[in-house]
Amino acid sequence: MSEIIYGNLIAEKYRLKIRDEVARLKASTGKSPALDVVIVGEDPASQIYVRNKEKAAVEAGIRSTVHRLPAETTQTEILTLIEELNLDPEVNGILVQLPLPKKINAPAVVEAVFPSKDVDGFHPVNLGRLMTGERGMIPCTPKGCLKLIKEVREDLTGLSAVVVGRSTIVGKPMAQLLLNENCTVTTAHSKTKNLAEVCRRADVLVVAAGRPRFITDDMVKEGAIVIDVGINRLENGKLCGDVDFESVLPKCAALTPVPKGVGPMTVTMLLDNTVEAFCRQNVIERNL
């Protein structure tokens, strides 16, 4: 029997745990974790993402402040705000919503955030810590994907894992997380030869290709765990993933749907990283 991994339900349970943890932290320290989000310009998708993040933070008891800056804001003005937030002890997590306007040097902005407050896990120091196995901030989407995989199978040692996509936000950190779980990892991408054959080797297949229904049943091993990170809007307005859900589901052990799969876990891991940042900054052991 194939399992549908409903990320929305797993995310909901996890958010309740975070809410309880935040309440306990508030009772013991008198402080609540605080997340500051910086958004520059009017990109409509970014506005929706930021609203969702803010709502989820407030529901979990996390203080949330959104700094909405006009599209004309200069690099210096953005860096000045980040400097202020870095130095403010009341701010535990800083998230700069991407993409930034074209004239802004986005990597310089990402690198300006203190690694200890980088709840996105995009700072090179945190990405480096992921490589060395040191404790750092883990990017939210791959972290959420790993939690979903572990709902199906706790020990991934020795499994063959294939990640389709090599972005810095999803593909590369996902591959590293799976390597840290003792998987044998292949990162496939748009230039990969014999992609179907490569994917068919995967016991764990994570797809972040950005192409609707790209992965079909002939590309999936019988009994694989398949995680679909894609969110594509079809002409009829409906959302679909990078995996052809109908054909792949009967073949695999478990598959995430789109929507209600990875998406809700990403926001949940942002809350988790904010609490993690608060605890580390206040030298508190977490017991979630």
Binding mask of the shown chain, residues 223 to 262, with x at each position contacting ligand GUN by CB under 6 A:
----------------------------------------
The residue number whose beta carbon is nearest to ligand GUN equals 98
Residue (95 or 161) nearer to ligand GUN, CB? 95
Residues 6 or more apart from 64 whose CB is under 8 A from it?
A: 34, 35, 36, 37, 53, 54, 57, 58
- Candidate segments 13-21, 89-97, 130-138, 202-210, binder of ligand GUN by CB under 6 A: 89-97
**Pick from 5, 39, 96, 100: which binds ligand GUN (CB under 6 A)?**
96
Minimum CB distance to ligand GUN, residue 50 (Å): 9
* Centroid of chain to Cα 38: 17
Nearest to 159 by CA among 179, 143, 142, 174: 179
Count how many Cα atoms sit within 13 Å of the Cα of residue 150 in the half-sphere of its side chain.
13
Degrees, nearest 5: CA angle 216-140-72: 105
**Pick from 66, 69, 79, 98: which binds ligand GUN (CB under 6 A)?**
98
- Candidate segments 58-66, 95-103, 144-152, 240-248, binder of ligand GUN by CB under 6 A: 95-103
Residue (5 or 140) nearer to ligand GUN, CB? 140
Taking the C-alpha atoms of residue 192 and residue 182, their distance in angstroms, rounded to an integer, is 23
Minimum CB distance to ligand GUN, residue 267 (Å): 9
Marked catalytic residue, from 97, 118, 172, 203: 97
Residue (46 or 216) nearer to ligand GUN, CB? 46
DSSP state of 181: T
Pair 253, 223: CB distance under 8 Å: yes
Strand partners, 164: 188, 207
**Upstream peptide bond of 99 is cis (omega within 30 degrees of 0):** yes
Is 40 near ligand GUN (CB under 6 A)? no
Minimum CB distance to ligand GUN, residue 148 (Å): 16
Binding mask of the shown chain, residues 134 to 173, with x at each position contacting ligand GUN by CB under 6 A:
------x---------------------------------
Minimum CB distance to ligand GUN, residue 266 (Å): 6
Marked catalytic residue, from 36, 118, 120, 203: 120
CB atoms within 10 A of CB 281: 16
Residues 6 or more apart from 156 whose CB is under 8 A from it?
A: 149, 150, 178, 181, 182, 183, 204
Taking the C-alpha atoms of residue 127 and residue 130, their distance in angstroms, rounded to an integer, is 5
Minimum CB distance to ligand GUN, residue 110 (Å): 8
Q: Is 53 a catalytic residue?
A: yes
**Which residues are designated catalytic?**
53, 97, 120
Residues that bind ligand GUN (CB under 6 A): 49, 95-98, 120, 140
